[in-house]
Amino acid sequence: MSDESSKSGEASSTRADVEAAPIYTEKLWPAWWLWVAGVMLGASISLIFFPISVTFGVLTVFIGIGLVIFGLIVTTPTLEVTPGWLRVGRARIQTVHLGRIVAHTGDAAREQLGPGFDASSYQCIRGWIDPVITAQIIDPKDATPYWIFSTRKPNAVLSALGSAEPVQEHGVSFE
C-alpha cells in the first residue's frame, strides 16, 4: 500500500513540476513574409473556383486564407522552461539530463546547422530565426546526443536554464 502511495506521490510531484509557472516562454512565430506567403497561397486556392461561381470563389478565398493562418498558428512551436523541465515543441526533458548548454549566432549557428550538425540530435529549427541553442544530453539511457533549437532570445534561454556559457559566434559546441 505504501509503495502505491509513494509512486502516486512521485507522479504527482513530477506532474506539478511540469505544470509549474514557466521561468521562460517563447513562441517561435513564423517570419512576416511567411504570413504574407500564406495569405497569398490561401487566396490562390480560390482561383480554381471563380469560373464555377463568383460567390463560391469569394467564399473559398476566406476559407483558404483561414485554413493557412490556422495551420501557421497550430504548427508554431513553443519553447518553455519551467523549474526542472525544458519543453521545445512537443518534446520535453528534465533539466537534470542536460549538460552543457550553448547559444550560437551568425557563423556559429550556421556551423551547427551545417558541417557541425548531428542528424541523431533532436531538432526544432526555424530557418527564419538565426540564433540556435544546443543542449547536451547526459542521460545514459538517451541515445540523442543533444537538442538543437531556434530562439530569438538566446541570453534569456541560457539564463532560464542556468547556463553561464557565453553566446558563441564561431565554432561547434560538442566535438
State pLDDT tens for residues 90-100: 999 999 999 99
150 sits in which H/E element: strand 146-150
Q: Is residue 16 one of the residues assigned to a domain?
A: no
Same domain, 86 and 137: yes
Same domain, 59 and 82: no
Number of domains in the chain: 2
pLDDT tier, 174 (very low <50, low <70, confident <90, very high otherwise): low
Beta bridge partners of 124: 149
Q: Is residue 66 one of the residues assigned to a domain?
A: yes
Distance CA(77)–CA(66), nearest Å, equals 19
The DSSP call for residue 83 is T
> Which residue range is the domain that position 152 belongs to?
78-160
Beta bridge partners of 148: 123, 134
Same domain, 69 and 140: no
What is the end-to-end Cα distance of the chain in Å, rounded?
Answer: 48
Phi, psi of 72 (to 5 degrees): -65, -40
Average pLDDT for residues 27-40, to the nearest whole number?
94
Residue keyed to cell 551547427: 112
Choosing from 12, 47, 74, the residue where a domain stops is: 74
Same domain, 85 and 151: yes
Average pLDDT for residues 155-175, to the nearest whole number?
80
